[in-house]
Homo-oligomer: A and B are copies of this chain.
Amino acid sequence: MTQDAFSETLITTASDQVFVDMRREIVEGSIEQGSKISEPELAKRYGVSRATLREALNRLESCYLVERKANVGCRVVALTAERLIEVYQVRSALEGLACRLAADNMAPDEVQSLKQLLNQHLQTQRVKEGESYYQEAGDLDFHYRIIKASKNEHLIHLLSNGLYQLIRMYRVQMGMVGPRVSKAFDEHLAIINAIENHDSELAELLMKRHISASQANIQAKFNLLATQKKVAQ
């Protein structure tokens, strides 16, 4: 029984393993977005039976990475501009809530630990400037900690098991890296301060604004990519 790094999924069964593997491949784009999933083919590839693969597909469906139609089959989700907006509207509402609850609940030592984490990110960020992986991981860390600090299990599950893989998929496949990183850092700092002061209203507002900015950033990338595709034709 091992453990999955990103969402702390306990890997006990064969279908757990297939689920985690497929999730990574879909998020990172090894399995192409929008592509049809053939059960016999993938079962063979992962060396499991169709029953086991289908179990994994069910779970991928619950975190919005594949879509199923009865008697037709599975398809990897397609990253559209419309969906991006939809997902970020939901994310903003939920993480705004999480941040508000965190401001209400977070203990002083938890706040200090989070501050420390942020400083670490600042250090490594300067060193690793341009390497998107560390920025990704650092940003994820920060948001994840706040989500957990909400102490609302349902909310935590909804975000970390539900939305986050999809959000990660957008970020990874848009190749998120650029000048927004340092701005994001300042925003994180402001959010922590609000939490430290138990100013829940401000914390919620700042988080929502932070997420909106992130959305605008991805959306710009999206449009840029769309333009490039048009020129290429």
| Complex Cα gap A10–B70 (Å) | 9
Q: How many residues of chain A get a CB closer than 8 Å to chain B's CBs?
A: 29
| Complex Cα gap A93–B83 (Å) | 19
* A216 proximal to B (CB < 8 A): no
Q: Which residues of B contact A158 (CB under 8 A)?
A: 90, 158
| Complex Cα gap A59–B59 (Å) | 9
Tell me how many chains of this kind the complex includes: 2
| Complex Cα gap A153–B12 (Å) | 33
| Complex Cα gap A58–B60 (Å) | 11
| Complex Cα gap A89–B204 (Å) | 14
Q: Given A96-B93, A101-B89, A83–B12 Cβ distance below 8 Å?
A: no
In chain A, positions 113-158 with a C-beta closer than 8 Å to chain B are 152-155, 158
* A71 proximal to B (CB < 8 A): yes
Considering the complex, give the chain B residue whose CB is closest to the CB of A92: B97
Considering the complex, give the chain B residue whose CB is closest to the CB of A153: B86
* A55 proximal to B (CB < 8 A): yes
11 contacts between A and B (CB under 8 A): A10-B70, A12-B71, A61-B62, A83-B153, A86-B153, A86-B155, A87-B154, A90-B158, A93-B93, A93-B96, A94-B94
